[in-house]
């Protein structure tokens, strides 16, 4: 295929060339960056919470009136919940991964240090907590019933034994075994000893990269005010039915309270990432609309050119050009225009990414986004131009002799 | 003349329905994308109380840890105050109006005595505040009035209900003077609000800008007396001493504090007062960090707390880049269309039409495309906003298209289509009549 006649033809309609090229360039820049943001969000959403999310749900209760005794209520509730057929485990808990609300505290490696070595989410539960969440202990041992305590405004100090996540252990003691090490949750109080390591348990704040993997499980039940939350794990497939039963039973055994609607951990996850999901959908719609608009633009311009050059095409056909040659001419012309646009677009795409990095602290886009985007747009251009090009190839040679 | 050009334009557009549809659709899509994102942006970022936003100020003090700033990443001061400072500033009363407040969750125990609808006990979001809250943030009253300053001081068991709560508990009737029971305590209703929903809950941004509105208000002093815990954000840099009293005396921050300052002079005066207050506290061993006090007004506060999320900003940027693509597309298509009419233009020129007349004629044709695109775009914007409401549950109340936005949409589309039409029109008008007529 000779490129020279194509180029000289294009030079005669520079404006159209610039417009189409610009459109393709902007399309490439937007599509690459949008796809990259989508992939970032997808990666964020794929991180496991460390819990068994399929079979778990939470229920909350808040008592009212002067006669309400939280401690007794918790004991009654747990006895009832754990006895329900189908419930594998139930435990009181102050907060859960992905709920975006909870207790965070600094941990120090020495009593003397002024600033904390790390910040961690604090989960308060009893010896059933780990199992109820479905989190996995990879080293050490779980809490024993004799290590349990409670926490209220009157509580001083911190428990002598704690369980932390593997990521938190790595942060505090890189490369060492955290079991048996001491850490201060309050430098004015006594240190706590690590007795167990959880494989993974996210903090409630999943959009905070600093602390998301740092969690501490404490053997204390919060006994303050009238509010309590339970995490309940059921046998597979029984979650939804048991959620209704548990809710009704809780209201039944103690009427002096409000039982808040149960929520599955799957729903908690969906809520936690709803903004990310929305962003992905919006960007997806933008990408789709953009590709449609660009494709239609190419079709429109190509049709115009074919009409404008009907006579020239006829002349070429009369001089011996085959239908295939005409078809290839328009395909090649589109390829040249798209390529020019893509060169410009590659620059724009990286520029846009740099702007995002500077203003929104996003990551750098991996190098392969632009080449893959270019390939897709070449393909899109060729497909879009195929219709008009075929129409051009059907122009009869006799057209050369006709005037319009 | 205008009418004639309009009919010429319409006829020309009808001649290539596919090309015309393509142009209208392109503009409509670009307009819809940019207007949808702009509406969200506008509603979240715009001034929620324009008539007095420059007179309402958040009080920010830096009582944080000497070794560690409150916000190391962005260098912001704490967004709330301690109980100690909030009550000291309330007692001093040096602003024109001031209010300390926090969020409480209270169980409501309906009387169900037959006087109102039958309601099961439920949890309610309340705000513990001072009587100045009402004249400062200006919620409209339907019945009654705010409680008095004396009632603040007396820790009175009084409440102001919102319209929805009054609807729920009293069927919407005038409930002033009646009692309601929250968490085992009887409160007398002194006032009922009319419908009130600021687009952004700017007076408390600590737990999200678009979270549910309050359902009732009670005096701050009453809530403290009843030891009602804050359900909002609470931050401590060291553990408070045991017990409720220990908590109140701690350096934990959990109270929002606003001051109304009616002139820049008053603002400067109040700033001096705050600085003096902090210096005084330093003598008592508090406020170990360098002196820092701030009085951001409503709009500064909304910007400081980043109410408009970065996702929304990126969406606006992308939407306008998208509009640019659509416009470039339209320029290309219009150019194709007008160049195709070269013969006709040449003929009209030869028959005596001036360049100016032809220019006007084609600009009107482009304008018609713009208006049609705008109208279709408006419909698509409505669809887009429905989509946004479905995607972001917390946007339910704010993503409504108002008349300003409708006007902006139409203006934007006509403007962009005319802009897109300028170059092709100019090119079309440069057609030499002789050369065009010759080839025929």
Mean pLDDT of B221-230: 92
The answer to whether A301 contacts chain B (CB < 8 Å) is: yes
Q: In whole angstroms, give the CA distance from residue B228 to residue B230.
A: 7
Q: Which of A185, A212, A200 is nearest to A137 (CA)?
A: A200
Chain B CA closest to residue A61: B123
Cβ contact, residue pair A64, B183, below 8 Å: yes
Interface of B with A in 315-354 (CB under 8 A): 315, 318-319, 321-322, 324-326, 328-329, 331-333, 335-337, 339-340
Band of pLDDT at residue B280, cut at 50, 70 and 90: very high
Q: Which of B123, B325, B336 sits opposite A62 (nearest CB)?
A: B123
Cβ contact, residue pair B183, A154, below 8 Å: no
Looking from the CA of A256 toward its CB, the CA atoms found within 13 Å total 13
Band of pLDDT at residue A55, cut at 50, 70 and 90: very high
Q: In whole angstroms, give the CA distance from residue A165 to residue A182.
A: 15
Condensed to tens digits (0 to 9), the pLDDT of residues B6-57 reads 888 888 888 888 888 888 888 898 888 888 888 888 777 778 888 999 999 9
- pLDDT value of residue A26: 93
Whether the predicted pLDDT of B267 surpasses 60 = yes
Interface of A with B in 322-381 (CB under 8 A): 356, 359-360
Condensed to tens digits (0 to 9), the pLDDT of residues B367-402 reads 888 888 888 988 998 888 888 888 876 666 555 667
Distance from CA of B319 to the nearest CA of A (A): 8
Mean pLDDT of B184-204: 88
Q: What is the dihedral of CA A251, A256, A260, A265, to 10 degrees?
A: -70
Look up the pTM and report it: 0.85
Distance from CA of B359 to the nearest CA of A (A): 19
Band of pLDDT at residue B211, cut at 50, 70 and 90: low
Burial group, residue A271, by CB count within 10 angstroms (0-12, 13-18, 19+): middle
DSSP β-bridge partners for residue A192:
A183
Whether the predicted pLDDT of B419 surpasses 90 = no
Whether the predicted pLDDT of A225 surpasses 70 = yes
Beta strands in A1-142 (DSSP E): 56-63, 87-92, 103-107, 118-124, 137-140
- Could you tell me the two tokens for A120? 């961690």
Cβ contact, residue pair B332, A286, below 8 Å: no
pLDDT higher at A42 or B213: A42
Q: Which of B22, B325, B339 sits opposite A300 (nearest CB)?
A: B22
| Most A CBs within 10 Å, among B69, B226, B318, B319, to test the A interface | B318
Q: Which helix (H) or strand (E) holds B175?
A: none
Chain B CA closest to residue A224: B229
- pLDDT value of residue B81: 95
pLDDT higher at B327 or A238: A238
Distance from CA of A250 to the nearest CA of B (A): 15
- pLDDT value of residue A351: 92
- pLDDT value of residue B436: 66
The DSSP letter of residue B171 is: T
Alpha-helical runs (H) found in B298-354: 298-304, 310-340, 342-350
Q: Which residues contact A321 (CB under 8 A, 6 or more apart)?
A: none
Give the largest CA-CA distance in chain A.
104
Burial group, residue B275, by CB count within 10 angstroms (0-12, 13-18, 19+): middle
Query: What three-state secondary structure class fits B38?
Result: helix
Q: Which of A114, A258, A289 sits opposite B122 (nearest CB)?
A: A258
CB A50 within 8 A of CB A335: no
CB A178 within 8 A of CB A169: yes
- pLDDT value of residue B438: 65
Location of structure tokens 């041992």: A141
CB B217 within 8 A of CB B159: yes
Band of pLDDT at residue A192, cut at 50, 70 and 90: very high
Cβ neighbours, 10 Å, residue A404? 8
Query: What three-state secondary structure class fits A18?
Result: helix
- pLDDT value of residue A59: 93
CB B38 within 8 A of CB B412: no
Whether the predicted pLDDT of B425 surpasses 90 = no
The answer to whether B29 contacts chain A (CB < 8 Å) is: yes
Cβ contact, residue pair A23, B328, below 8 Å: yes
CB B13 within 8 A of CB B368: yes
Mean pLDDT of B272-279: 95
- pLDDT value of residue B440: 47
Q: Which of A182, A202, A207, A200 is nearest to A192 (CA)?
A: A182
Burial group, residue A343, by CB count within 10 angstroms (0-12, 13-18, 19+): middle
Band of pLDDT at residue B213, cut at 50, 70 and 90: confident
Chain A CA closest to residue B233: A101
Whether the predicted pLDDT of B215 surpasses 60 = yes
Q: In whole angstroms, give the CA distance from residue A329 to residue A386.
A: 11
Interface of A with B in 108-167 (CB under 8 A): 114-116, 153-156
CB B161 within 8 A of CB B193: yes
Q: In whole angstroms, give the CA distance from residue B285 to residue B89.
A: 18
Alpha-helical runs (H) found in B291-309: 298-304
DSSP β-bridge partners for residue A104:
A121
- pLDDT value of residue B7: 87
* Region label for B263, one of left (φ > 0), alpha (ψ between -120 and 50) or beta (otherwise): beta
CB A39 within 8 A of CB A228: no
Cβ contact, residue pair A154, B109, below 8 Å: no
The answer to whether A297 contacts chain B (CB < 8 Å) is: yes
- pLDDT value of residue B210: 52
Which ipTM did the prediction report? 0.81
Chain A CA closest to residue B229: A225
Q: Which of B305, B138, B304, B125 is nearest to B218 (CA)?
A: B125
Q: In whole angstroms, give the CA distance from residue A206 to residue A266.
A: 15
Q: Which of A26, A30, A300 sits opposite B19 (nearest CB)?
A: A300
Cβ contact, residue pair B107, A62, below 8 Å: yes
Q: What is the 3-state secondary structure (H, E, C) of A157-168?
A: CCCCEEEEEHHH
- Could you tell me the two tokens for A365? 């886009």
Condensed to tens digits (0 to 9), the pLDDT of residues A317-361 reads 999 889 999 999 999 999 999 999 999 999 999 999 998 888 877
- pLDDT value of residue B437: 65
- Could you tell me the two tokens for A364? 């750098």
Cβ contact, residue pair B440, A404, below 8 Å: yes
Cβ contact, residue pair B315, A279, below 8 Å: yes
Whole-angstrom CA distances from B185 to A310, B108, B182 are: 88, 10, 5
DSSP string computed for A93-126: -S--TTSS--EEEEEBSSSS-SS-SEEEEEEE--
Return the ∠ at Cα A76 (arms to A159 and A226), rounded to 5°: 65
- pLDDT value of residue B394: 65
Whether the predicted pLDDT of A77 surpasses 90 = yes
Whether the predicted pLDDT of B118 surpasses 50 = yes
Q: In whole angstroms, give the CA distance from residue A122 to residue A194.
A: 14
- pLDDT value of residue B397: 59
Q: In whole angstroms, give the CA distance from residue A15 to residue B178.
A: 76
Mean pLDDT of chain B: 87
Cβ contact, residue pair B121, A294, below 8 Å: no
Cβ contact, residue pair B339, A30, below 8 Å: no
Q: In whole angstroms, give the CA distance from residue A195 to residue A164.
A: 8
Mean pLDDT of B354-366: 85
Burial group, residue B173, by CB count within 10 angstroms (0-12, 13-18, 19+): middle
Condensed to tens digits (0 to 9), the pLDDT of residues B57-96 reads 999 999 998 888 888 878 899 999 999 999 999 999 999 9
Q: Which of B310, B388, B440 sits opposite A360 (nearest CB)?
A: B310
Band of pLDDT at residue B4, cut at 50, 70 and 90: confident
- pLDDT value of residue A45: 94
Condensed to tens digits (0 to 9), the pLDDT of residues A102-150 reads 888 889 999 988 888 999 999 999 999 999 999 999 999 999 999 999 9
Q: Which of A27, A115, A303 sits opposite B67 (nearest CB)?
A: A115
Chain B CA closest to residue A23: B325
Q: In whole angstroms, give the CA distance from residue A383 to residue A371.
A: 18
Chain A CA closest to residue B108: A64
Interface of A with B in 270-289 (CB under 8 A): 274-275, 277-279, 281-283, 285-286, 289
For residue B325, which residues of chain A lie inside 8 Å, CB to CB? 23, 26-27, 30, 290, 293-294
CB B258 within 8 A of CB B249: no
Q: Which of A26, A183, A248, A226 is nearest to B104 (CA)?
A: A226
Q: In whole angstroms, give the CA distance from residue A271 to residue B393.
A: 9
Beta strands in A21-73 (DSSP E): 56-63
Return the ∠ at Cα B325 (arms to B322 and B331), rounded to 5°: 145
The answer to whether B294 contacts chain A (CB < 8 Å) is: no
Own/partner pairs, A313-319, CB within 8 angstroms, 24+ separation: A313/A392, A313/A395, A313/A399, A314/A395, A314/A396, A314/A397, A314/A398, A314/A399, A314/A400, A314/A401, A314/A402, A315/A399, A315/A400, A317/A395, A317/A396, A317/A397, A317/A399, A317/A400, A318/A397, A318/A398, A318/A400, A318/A401
């Amino acid at each position: 295929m000779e490129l020279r006649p194509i180029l000289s033809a294009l030079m005669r309609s520079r404006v159209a060339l610039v417009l189409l090229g610009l459109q393709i360039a902007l399309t490439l820049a937007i599509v690459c960056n949008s796809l990259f943001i989508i992939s970032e969000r997808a990666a964020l959403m794929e991180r496991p919470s460390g819990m068994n999310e399929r079979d778990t749900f939470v229920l909350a209760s808040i008592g009212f009136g002067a006669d309400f005794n939280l401690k007794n209520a918790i004991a009654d509730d747990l006895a009832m919940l754990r006895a329900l057929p189908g419930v594998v485990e139930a435990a009181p808990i102050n907060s859960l991964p992905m709920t975006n609300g909870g207790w965070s505290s600094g941990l120090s490696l020495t009593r003397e240090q002024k600033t904390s070595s790390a910040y961690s989410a604090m989960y308060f539960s009893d010896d059933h907590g780990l199992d109820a969440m479905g989190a996995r202990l990879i080293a050490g041992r779980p809490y024993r019933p004799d290590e349990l305590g409670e926490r209220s405004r009157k509580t001083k100090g911190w428990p002598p034994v704690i369980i932390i996540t593997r990521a938190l252990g790595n942060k505090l003691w890189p490369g060492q075994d955290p079991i048996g090490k001491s850490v201060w949750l309050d430098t004015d109080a006594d240190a706590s000893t690590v007795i167990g390591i959880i494989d993974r348990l996210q903090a409630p704040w999943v959009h905070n990269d600093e602390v998301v993997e740092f969690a501490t499980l404490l053997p204390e039940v919060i006994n303050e005010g009238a509010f309590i939350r339970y995490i309940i794990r059921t046998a597979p497939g029984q979650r939804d039915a048991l959620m209704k039963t548990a809710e009704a039973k809780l209201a039944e055994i103690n009427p002096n309270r409000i039982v808040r609607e149960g929520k599955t951990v799957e729903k908690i996850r969906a809520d936690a990432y709803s903004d990310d999901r929305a962003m992905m959908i919006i960007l997806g719609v933008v990408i789709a609309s953009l590709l449609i608009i660009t494709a239609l633009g190419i079709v429109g311009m190509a049709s115009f050119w074919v009409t404008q050059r009907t006579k020239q095409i006829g002349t070429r056909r009369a001089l011996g050009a085959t239908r295939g040659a005409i078809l290839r001419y328009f395909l090649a012309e589109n390829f040249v225009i798209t390529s020019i646009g893509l060169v410009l677009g590659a620059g724009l795409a990286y520029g846009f990414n740099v702007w995002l990095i500077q203003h929104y602290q996003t990551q750098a886009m991996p190098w392969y986004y632009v080449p893959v985007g270019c390939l897709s747009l070449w393909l899109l251009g060729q497909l879009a131009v195929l219709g008009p090009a075929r129409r051009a190839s059907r122009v009869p040679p006799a057209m050369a002799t006709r005037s319009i | 003349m205008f009418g004639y050009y309009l009919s010429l334009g319409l006829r020309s557009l009808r001649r290539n329905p596919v090309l015309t549809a393509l142009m209208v659709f392109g503009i409509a899509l670009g307009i819809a994308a940019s207007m949808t994102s702009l509406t969200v942006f506008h509603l979240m970022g715009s001034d929620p109380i324009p008539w007095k936003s420059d007179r309402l100020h958040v009080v920010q003090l830096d009582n944080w840890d000497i070794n560690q700033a409150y916000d190391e990443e962005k260098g912001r001061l704490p967004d709330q105050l301690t109980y100690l400072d909030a009550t000291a500033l309330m007692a001093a009363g040096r602003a024109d109006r001031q209010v300390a407040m926090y969020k409480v969750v209270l169980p409501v125990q309906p009387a169900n005595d037959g006087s109102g609808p039958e309601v099961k006990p439920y949890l309610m979001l309340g705000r513990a505040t001072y009587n100045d809250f009402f004249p400062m943030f200006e919620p409209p009253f339907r019945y009654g009035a705010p409680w008095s300053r004396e009632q603040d001081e007396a820790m009175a068991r009084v409440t102001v209900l919102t319209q929805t709560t009054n609807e729920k508990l009293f069927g919407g009737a005038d409930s002033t003077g009646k009692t309601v029971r929250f968490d085992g305590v009887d409160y007398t209703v002194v006032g009922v609000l009319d419908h009130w929903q600021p687009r952004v809950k700017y007076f408390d941004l600590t737990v999200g800008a678009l979270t549910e509105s309050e359902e009732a208000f009670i005096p701050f002093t009453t809530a403290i007396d009843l030891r009602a815990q804050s359900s909002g954000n609470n931050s401590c840099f060291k553990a408070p001493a045991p017990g409720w009293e220990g908590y109140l005396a701690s350096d934990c921050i959990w109270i929002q504090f606003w001051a109304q300052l009616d002139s820049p002079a008053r603002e400067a005066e109040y700033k001096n007062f705050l600085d003096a207050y902090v210096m005084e506290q330093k003598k008592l061993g508090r406020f170990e960090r360098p002196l820092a006090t701030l009085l951001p007004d409503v709009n500064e506060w909304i910007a400081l707390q980043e109410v408009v999320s970065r996702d929304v900003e990126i969406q606006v940027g992308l939407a306008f880049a998208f509009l640019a693509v659509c416009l470039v597309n339209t320029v290309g298509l219009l150019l194709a269309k007008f160049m195709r009419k070269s013969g006709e233009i040449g003929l009209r020129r030869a028959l005596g039409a001036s360049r100016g007349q032809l220019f006007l004629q084609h600009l009107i044709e482009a304008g018609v495309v713009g208006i049609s695109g705008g109208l279709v775009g408006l419909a698509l914007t409505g669809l887009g906003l429905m989509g946004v409401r479905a995607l972001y549950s917390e946007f339910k109340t704010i993503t409504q298209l108002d008349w300003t936005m409708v006007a902006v949409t139409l203006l934007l589309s006509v403007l962009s289509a005319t802009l897109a039409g300028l170059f092709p029109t100019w090119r079309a008008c440069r057609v030499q009549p002789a050369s065009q007529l010759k080839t025929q």
